[in-house]
Chain A
Amino acid sequence: MSVKNSIGFIIVFLLMAALAACSIFFLLLAVNAYNQGFKETALYYSMAGLMGLIMSMYTLTRIVRRRPSTSTALNYEVQTLLRCLKCGFSNTRGFTDGDYVLGIGDKCPHCSTPMVILAIYRTSSKREKQ
């Protein structure tokens, strides 16, 4: 499926690129014709050039935009919030395997009591910000 897809993509891409080039040439002709006083001819050329340019750009944008994108998975960091229930000290660190909410975490640096994990949460990812 991927080989077929890439061949189809190249063919359409080349066709549209050729159409875009022709359209730009037509627009140049239109400018020249207008400068030389052929207003009606300039109108024909500019219409053809603009139509071709719009069509080729629209199709090119569509096919380029739907090329396989990068990973769609959320990319975020996970934090663990710990609190000492004895002295109220709070600490946030990266998530480690085995952490769970309301589980026992590291020892409190102030009173050496095991702290309780109050939250395990993720930071906003790029996809979500978009």
Chain B
Amino acid sequence: MNPEIVLQQILSSEGDRLGFIFQAIFIALFLFSIFYGQRLQVWMMLKNVEVGLNRIKRMRDNARQTILDLLRRFNDDPSLENAIDRLLEYFWIPPTSIDPFGIVGKIDHILNVRERRFRWELKSIAPNVDDNRLRNIENLIEVGISLDQIYRVMRHYYLLGKKTMSLFLIYQAEALMPTVLQEAEALADAIKAFSTGQPIGDGVGSLVAARFMYGAEKKLISEDTVMAEVEFEGRKLIVVKALGPGGNVGKPGEAIEKILEGRRIDAIIMVDAALKLEGEEVGEVAEGVGAAIGGIGVDKFKIEEAAKKFNVPLYAIVVKESMSDALSTMKWDIYVGVEKAINRIKRLIREKTNIGDTLILVGVGNTIGIGQ
């Protein structure tokens, strides 16, 4: 068939026939969009959720494999995989909040039980592992648990949306996916640091405290928490941090309670990492008042209670970083932030305390890869 002739035939058919065809196509498309438009939109959204879900699954599988490879060095038992899967599904049930009175103590108790049980399980899997590495593996498994949890929850909404074809369910899952992915990526970034024992951005507070206590005599003040007394321009500084270089956050709340009950303190300075807002620079330092500590809130509650009871002012200094920076190996910008934070602390001490005063300086954060 000659294409020239076909073209002539098409072009010779006047506007009527062509107009009819286009109108028919337009009506067909219009009807299609009325009856199937939403379905097509739902299908596209489901596909987007599925892609995100696959990425989270890869991150979760990668974390599991890293844990497995690391533990295989200490235990070559074929049942190791089952043991790891059991640990990855480990959960804790928060106490009831119908009557919130005393809930912090209950949370503290349940978390302590969980921690002890977790360490016991790990010790039974790898009995020859040293304490520092044990803490790092514990942190790594926590990352694995978080990724597994994220994957399961998103998969639940994906499958539920697919089953019910509910636009609102799928829409919510799709809308949440970018932030969930960001969180999952931050956790995935932590795997390398935790498996090799490198310092992470969250340890900025610990590093500041370590710099102050370097060379001084240290002693354990509470579980996984050390303190040292140093002199600074005529003031006595009691520096507290988690015991490093294993992955620990220690129990700063308990440590501060103990110190305050034992002696007169004129001020408490807390240093921690804080999540930066978009547009802020990594390593920026900010200053304020209050208990600079994250987590579930048990330590924060204890510190605030103790500070109120003994009427001690609480000063806070934070170094800003993103979630990914906080969980992955420390960036150079954060070390620059550490220097800035140290200078701020020195200035704060000079401005807010007198010669002869006693202060507590608490470096908050995970001390993985940071000694003292």
Contact = CB atoms under 8 A, between A and B. Distances in A.
Interface residues of B, number: 45
26 contacts: A5-B50, A32-B7, A36-B11, A40-B15, A41-B18, A44-B19, A71-B58, A73-B62, A73-B191, A74-B189, A74-B324, A76-B329, A78-B196, A78-B329, A95-B198, A98-B197, A100-B197, A100-B371, A101-B370, A102-B211, A102-B372, A119-B330, A120-B330, A120-B369, A122-B198, A122-B329
A101 B207 contact: yes
A66 interface: yes
Most buried by B among A32, A48, A120: A120
A73 B189 contact: yes
Given A66-B48, A100-B369, A103-B371, 4 more contacts: A48-B25, A68-B54, A73-B192, A95-B196
Interface of A: 1-2, 5, 8, 29, 32-33, 36, 38, 40-41, 44, 48, 62-63, 66-69, 71-74, 76, 78, 95, 97-103, 119-122, 124
Given A100-B244, A121-B330, A33 B11 contact: yes
B332 interface: yes
A44 B16 CA distance: 12
Contact of A41 (B11, B188, B207, B328): B11
Contacts of A41: 11, 15, 18
Contact of B214 (A102, A120, A124): A102
A78 B11 contact: no
Contacts, number: 102
Given A36-B11, A120-B330, A121-B329, A101 B185 contact: no
A78 B58 CA distance: 24
Contacts of A76: 329
A73 B188 contact: yes
Interface in B28-61: 44, 47-48, 50-51, 54-55, 58-59
B335 A119 contact: yes
A2 B211 CA distance: 51
Contacts of A40: 15
Contacts of B92: none
A115 to B, nearest CB: 14
Contacts of B207: 101
B11 A101 contact: no
B15 A103 contact: no
A41 B15 CA distance: 7
B55 A68 contact: yes
Contact of B371 (A33, A101, A124): A101
B331 interface: yes
Interface string B175-195: 000000000010011011000
Interface in B273-325: 324
Nearest to B15: A40
B9 to A, nearest CB: 12
Interface in B326-351: 328-332, 334-335
B329 A120 contact: yes
Nearest to B371: A102
A5 B210 CA distance: 51
Contacts of A119: 330, 332, 335
A94 to B, nearest CB: 12
8 shortest interchain CB distances as A-B pairs:
A100-B245, A102-B371, A122-B329, A101-B370, A66-B51, A121-B332, A74-B189, A103-B371
Nearest to A103: B371
Contacts of A95: 196, 198
A124 B62 CA distance: 22
A70 B55 CA distance: 9
